[in-house]
Amino acid sequence: MSFLNRTADRLADDRGDVPGWVLITLMTAGLVLVLWGVAGPALTTVFEQAIDRVSSF
């Protein structure tokens, strides 16, 4: 079986790698939560300062 035939067979298989995608999704969600927890208060402060500067005019 040639390389092209094996590649075509793999592309035709639509099951995918479910455990891999679940792991990637969970890791991404965890990373977002960690970054949000660390940067959230700082971003809130920056946003409030920007609104105060615009509102003061």
Measure the CA–CA gap between 55 and 57, rounded to whole angstroms: 6
Tokens representing 23 are 């792991």
pTM of the model: 0.52
Please report the beta strands in the chain, taking only residues with DSSP state E, as ranges in sequence order. none
pLDDT tens for each residue of the chain, 57 residues long: 577 777 667 666 656 667 888 999 999 999 999 999 999 999 999 999 999 999 976
Measure the CA–CA gap between 24 and 16, rounded to whole angstroms: 13
Measure the CA–CA gap between 51 and 23, rounded to whole angstroms: 39
Tokens representing 19 are 């455990």
